[in-house]
Structure 1
């Protein structure tokens, strides 16, 4: 089978498709034939070496976190799924390994694929969807009538964060580029700010929650936009950021929370229910596995709306 691996940190040129044996499974595992894998910013932060304290520096390493696929085989202790079931899931966010024709997973790593969406859409759901749920419901605890600013609202997490925040009754201000204005309005944003024409630092409104998904708005800069008891959420879990946020939160009413995705079966099942209802899933572009370097290069450099997905034959 094919699998994407790398033997050193670097840019997309370090990614190679190699041949490996199909993995064997333990009694509590399932063998999944992968149909699609989504691209996440965390992927290139890991293979670029930015997360080596979390991912380690031992090679070879694998790529790809969330996936959709079909159950090929089940271990003797598995009762919830059978061969032929369509599923979504995700692997360890710092180790990856989903970019392969076959992967072995535990039952807790997967959930049934929503029937009404494609495998490509399904692959785009787990990491960014769980991230949005964790930010909105746990880190920020967004509630009715709160004012929420989402910076980078048309990226993978932003698509879901806007929609879920609205479901929780918040008033959402989405910060986007010009080409994302119509999309953000379609997802339910109450106000849309085009950062190419209006710097968010010049906004006069104060917010209960500020979610930075662009990685360009620091907590220090966001403070002027925050209410006294507001929460700022960022998505860069560097050791320095974790330490500084911990110290800040001991003494300041303005809290700095950092997302570290914690996958749960309950979260995956919540996402599938949302997707079966009315949650919009937006794909920017799909690629064949043979174009894996181009896929990651374009995703890392581009201004995407939604997610890019790699499709396995």
Structure 2
């Protein structure tokens, strides 16, 4: 089968199309013929060597975490799926495995049936950022019409799901985005929208109960200026050192810095599937063919796109 792999850490130029045997499956696994794979920032963090303490330095490595496709084969102990089922899912260990190829073998517990109302590209956009958005939403605690929340970098995949999860709560949600994201932020439920190209959110006098920095560009040090005394700063892109240090520092400060470490769960995916049944939308900002994988990652790594970037096979 054709798959994408790399033999050294580096930029998009290290990504290569290679031939490998189609994976065989174990009793608890399914073999999925891939239709679409979405791009996540973790893909290039691993590829650039930023996560080598966790990923190791053994090559070749593969890329792509979230996928959608059609079940080609089921293991002998799998009863929840059959050949021909349309599914979406996630590779079990994205530090070692990758979904960006013609087939992937994964545990049956790592896939879910694709809603008929959405495309393979939309389904492949769900697991990582959707699961993270549910985790962030739950970490915020009791949210109501008196809550003031700031989402910095609000119209990527994570923000797309989070805005729609927050909408029914009636919270006052300020979304910071680029000019081309303003209309999307409003559509997804933001109460007010700030175009960062026209205004610096830190210059406002408004303070917030929760600040979540999806762009990774604000940081806790800056966010403190616009946080209420007991506010939370949610950091979905923490550095490894942030995890222990924030736990210790939070003991001595009222404005808490929370490092979000998330993985999609059965519960979070089911919540999102219920949302899709009720009209939750998934915006795929750009689709690339498999033959343009390098170009797809170049585009995604520049940022500024709406929703998700997807590679189709």
TM-score (norm 1): 0.96
Corresponding position of 2:84: 84
After TM superposition, the structure 1 = structure 2 runs for residues 1-313 of structure 1, keeping only pairs within 5 Å, are 1-91=1-91, 92-137=93-138, 139-141=139-141, 143-145=143-145, 146-312=147-313
5+ residue gaps, structure 1, are none
- Measured in 2, the distance between the counterparts of 1:309 and 1:278 equals 21
- Measured in 2, the distance between the counterparts of 1:281 and 1:209 equals 24
- Measured in 1, the distance between the counterparts of 2:308 and 2:143 equals 27
Deviation string for 1:149-171 (max 9, x for gaps)?
Answer: 00000111111111111133321
Cα displacement (A) at 1:270: 1.8
5+ residue gaps, structure 2, are none
- Measured in 2, the distance between the counterparts of 1:212 and 1:276 equals 28
Deviation string for 1:200-259 (max 9, x for gaps)?
Answer: 111111111101001101101101111111111112232222132122222222111122
Runs of 4+ in structure 1 deviating by more than 4 angstroms, as ranges, are none
| Native 8 Å contact 1:89 1:268 kept in 2 | no
Cα displacement (A) at 1:141: 2.5
| Native 8 Å contact 1:65 1:90 kept in 2 | yes
> Are the structure 2 counterparts of residues 292 and 130 from structure 1 closer, same or farther at C-alpha, using a change threshold of 3 Å?
same
Cα displacement (A) at 1:267: 1.7
Cα displacement (A) at 1:123: 0.7
Cα displacement (A) at 1:95: 3.2
Q: How many residues align?
A: 311
- State the Cα RMSD in Å: 1.2
- Measured in 1, the distance between the counterparts of 2:168 and 2:56 equals 38
SS state at 1:239 partner: coil
- Measured in 2, the distance between the counterparts of 1:96 and 1:169 equals 40
- Measured in 2, the distance between the counterparts of 1:251 and 1:130 equals 30
Q: Which moved more, 1:72-81 or 1:167-176?
A: 167-176
- Measured in 2, the distance between the counterparts of 1:257 and 1:96 equals 28
SS state at 1:54 partner: helix
Cα displacement (A) at 1:261: 2.2
| Native 8 Å contact 1:29 1:104 kept in 2 | yes
Deviation string for 1:133-183 (max 9, x for gaps)?
Answer: 11111x322511211100000111111111111133321100011111111
| Native 8 Å contact 1:115 1:276 kept in 2 | no
> Are the structure 2 counterparts of residues 118 and 254 from structure 1 closer, same or farther at C-alpha, using a change threshold of 3 Å?
same
> Are the structure 2 counterparts of residues 206 and 96 from structure 1 closer, same or farther at C-alpha, using a change threshold of 3 Å?
farther
SS state at 1:237 partner: coil
- Measured in 2, the distance between the counterparts of 1:123 and 1:116 equals 14
| Native 8 Å contact 1:283 1:308 kept in 2 | yes
Q: Which moved more, 1:228-237 or 1:290-299?
A: 228-237
- Measured in 2, the distance between the counterparts of 1:270 and 1:22 equals 33
- Measured in 2, the distance between the counterparts of 1:182 and 1:201 equals 22
